[in-house]
Structure 1
Amino acid sequence: MSEDSRRPRARAVVLLLLVALLALLAPGCRVVESEGPQDVPPPTTATRHKHAKPSGRRPGVVNIETEQTLNGTRAAGTGIVLTASGLVLTNNHVIQGATAIKGTDVDDRRGYRAEVVGYDRTGDIAVIRLSGATRLRTAAFASAGGVAVGDPVTAVGNAGGKGGTPTVVTGKVTALEQSVTARDDSNGTSERLTGLIETNAPIRPGDSGGPLLDTSGKVIGINTAASTGFSVKGAERRGDHRGYAIPSDRALEIARQIQRGEASSTVHIGRTAMLGVKVRPNGRSPGALVAELVPGSPAEAAGVPVGGVIVAFGDTAVDAPSTLTDLMLARHPGDAVRIEWTTSRGDRMAGTVHLAEGPPQ
C-alpha cells in the first residue's frame, strides 16, 4: 500500500480524465520566448463565506479544441487565461498528443491558433500561448489553502466539447487532499494524481482545464477528472458524482516554472521531440517493444522494425516504455541520439537518429 493510500483523508478511486472526445476519424512548435514570472497572477487569500452562494462568474475562460492526426481523433477541453497577451493554463491531458491546437476566448468569441509553451506530465498541467492575442480578460486566482469541506464552489468549462458559452455548474467541496488514478479513454493512458480538491459539482468531459471557483469568482482549482460511480471500502456507490481539481497554488507554481523556461525531470519546455514509435512492455523482459512505426519517422529511417525491442537510448538503458518516454522528454527536435534495439531473432542493432518534431506527451 502506498503512503498516499494510507493518508486518513485520501480516497483512491479510478475515474475518467475530462477531455471530451469529439470524433473518431479514419486512421489516417517552436520554443517561445518566456515572459517574466510576474505576468502570472499571484493567488490572493481566500475569503470564507459560510452562507455564501456559489459564484456564477465566467472569468477568462478559453474553449480548447485539438487535432491528433497520429491517432485520428479530435478532442476538446478548457483553459484559463493567465495573461492579457495570451498565456493560458490547462491540463496536460487536454493537449497531449495534439498536432494542432485552437483556443477560442469566450469573452470576445475570437479563435486563435495555439502553441505549447511547456507541460508537466506528472502534475497534469500545461501552458499554451494563443498566437496574436492581446487584451484578453484574465482570471483572478485565490489560494486553495483557505478552502474547507462544505465550501460552495462553481465549476466552469466546455462541457461536452460543444464550444460557445461555457457551462456553469455548482456544488460544494466534499473532501480535500484526495488521491486518484485517472484514465483517459481517448488513448487508454492513466495517471496517479494526489492532493486534489473533491467536489460534488457535476463536471463533465470537456471541463478539463477549466476553473473551480470560490464564492467571489476566484479560481481555487483546475478541474481535471470526475466519476459518477466509485468504490469506497469495497462498496460501489452509483450515481454519486465526484469531481476533482488541482489546487490553484500548485497549478500556478508549475505555470511559473514553465513560463521561466525551467525544464526538469517532469517539466518539458518548448517543442516535443519524436522518435516515431508506439511501444508497449516487452513481457517480463526489459525494453520497449515496438508495436507500430510512424511512416517517415526517424525510427523507420534508422531501420527499427516492428517487433523489435528498444533497449538503449543515448547512454541510458531502456527497461520499460515509460523510461523511453522520460528520456525523450529531455530531448528536442533535431537532436542526434544513438539508439540500440534487438530484433525478433535476438540480433542486437544500433543506429543514430535525428529526432523529429512531434505532439506533446
Structure 2
Amino acid sequence: MGRSFSRWRLAVGIAIVAAASLTAPVPALAAPDDLTGAIAAAEPAVVRLDTRIDYQHAIGTGTGIVIDPNGTVVTNYHVVAGADTITGVVLGRPYTADLVGYNRSRDVAVLQLRGASGLPAASIGDSSSLAAGEPVVALGNAYGSGSPLTQEAGSVTAFGQKISAKDELTGSSSEMTGLIEFAAPVRAGDSGGPLVNARGQVVGLTTAATVTFRMGPGGAGFAIPINDVMAVAGQIRSGAASDTVHIGPPTLLGVGVATGDQDPSIPGVIIRDVLPGGPAALAGLNNGDVLISIDGSGLDSATTLTNVLDRHYPGDVVDLVWIDREGRQMTGKAPLNAG
C-alpha cells in the first residue's frame, strides 16, 4: 500500500506530508547522542531559501544544498514552484537565485546563486551504501532564515518507499518511488535540505514527513537518495531537456484549475481562475470554461495540464481548444510566458 501526501504553501513555509505505510519498516535504533561533527561539516553548505509568489501574495521557506563553490544549489522543486523571486542565504549572505531547471516528477530542482563564488560545497556521499539503523540527521530551515537551522537526528528505517503526492498549488498529483525513510521529526521548511550521515556526507534530499505526527516529535521523514538527485541535477546542468526535465523557469499559461468536483464525463479541466493579462486571458479564456487541449494534447486532469506545459518554453505559441460557459467550442492561441 502506498503513502499519500499533500504539498502546500504556507505563509511561513512549504511542506510535504505522508501517511500510511508501504512496508513494515525496520525498527528504528535510538538516535546517536552526538552528531556534532557531522552537523558541523554539513551546515556551511546548507542554503536557506525564501520564496515569493507575487500573484498570490504568498511567501515560503525551504532549504537547499550547495553542490558547487560557484553557487549551484539543489533543492526540492516544490520548494520553488511558482516563485517569482527566490533568495538563497549561505553563511549569512543573501543571493538572488535563478531556477536552472527541474524534474517535477522527481521533485528535484537546480538553482544558481547570482554572483556566488568560493562557497563551501557539500560532501556528497553514496546513498546506495546506507544501511537500516544507520544514524542520520536532517538539516533544514523550518524556523526561517533568521533562526538556527533545525537538526533532526534519527536513523534509517526503510528503503524503496513510495508515496503519492498532490500539489495544492496546481492541483496536480504524482507518485514518488525509491525513497529513503528515516525516523526523525522533520517539518515544514526542512524540504530540500540535506540528510547527512555520521561522516558529514549528504546521502539524501529531505522531501516528506508523516502527517501522523503533524511535523512534531516522533514521526518519520522521507528523502530522495542523493545518487538519484545528483543524476537529475547533472542532466539539468548539462541543459539536456527531456519529457521529464525542464530547463529554465516553467511556462505560465495563467490559469488555475480544479478537478476534484468535476463530472468525469466532461473532457478537459475546469478553469477556476484566469490571471488578468496572462496568456490564457489574452486567448479569450474565462472562469468556468473547460480547457480541452493544448496543441492537440488532450487534458483530463491538472496533472496532465502541468505535464503538457512542462514540455513547452516561454515564447512558444500554443493552440487552445475549450468549451465556454454557454457550451460553445472555442479556439485561440496563447503565447506562453515564464512564471
Query: TM-score with structure 2 length normalisation?
Result: 0.86
Pairing 1:1-361 to 2, within 5 Å after superposition? 5=1, 12-15=2-5, 17=7, 21-22=11-12, 54=35, 55-57=38-40, 58-105=43-90, 107=91, 109-182=92-165, 190-227=173-210, 229=212, 240-281=218-259, 282-284=262-264, 285-358=266-339
CA contact (8 A) 1:77 1:94 kept: yes
Shift, 1:146, TM fit? 0.8
CA contact (8 A) 2:269 2:292 kept: yes
2:56, 2:328 → 1: CA distance? 31
Pair 1:183–1:320, CA change in 2 (3 A): closer
1:183, 1:291 → 2: CA distance? 18
Pair 1:59–1:190, CA change in 2 (3 A): farther
The two structures, once aligned, show a CA RMSD in angstroms of 2.3
CA contact (8 A) 1:16 1:227 kept: no
**Deviation digits for residues 310-361 of structure 1, max 9, x if unmatched?**
1121132223332222111111111111111111222111111111221xxx
Secondary structure at the aligned position of 2:325 is classed as coil
Give unmatched runs, 5+ long, in structure 2.
Answer: 15-31
Letter in 1 for 2:74: L
**Deviation digits for residues 240-280 of structure 1, max 9, x if unmatched?**
41111110100000000100111111111012221111112
Pair 1:62–1:240, CA change in 2 (3 A): closer
Give the length in aligned residue pairs.
Answer: 313
Letter in 1 for 2:100: V
Secondary structure at the aligned position of 2:232 is classed as helix
Shift, 1:184, TM fit? 5.5
1:37 alignment partner in structure 2: none
Shift, 1:161, TM fit? 2.5
Letter in 1 for 2:103: D
Shift, 1:21, TM fit? 3.6
Pair 1:186–1:314, CA change in 2 (3 A): closer
Letter in 1 for 2:64: G
Secondary structure at the aligned position of 2:12 is classed as strand
2:60, 2:80 → 1: CA distance? 9
CA contact (8 A) 1:202 1:243 kept: yes
Secondary structure at the aligned position of 1:217 is classed as coil
Give unmatched runs, 5+ long, in structure 1.
Answer: 6-11, 25-50, 231-237
**Deviation digits for residues 57-93 of structure 1, max 9, x if unmatched?**
2241100000012222100000000111111000001
1:29 alignment partner in structure 2: none
CA contact (8 A) 1:19 1:76 kept: no
1:138, 1:341 → 2: CA distance? 48
Letter in 2 for 1:262: A
Q: Percent identity?
A: 38
Structure 1 stretch displaced more, 201-210 or 313-322: 313-322
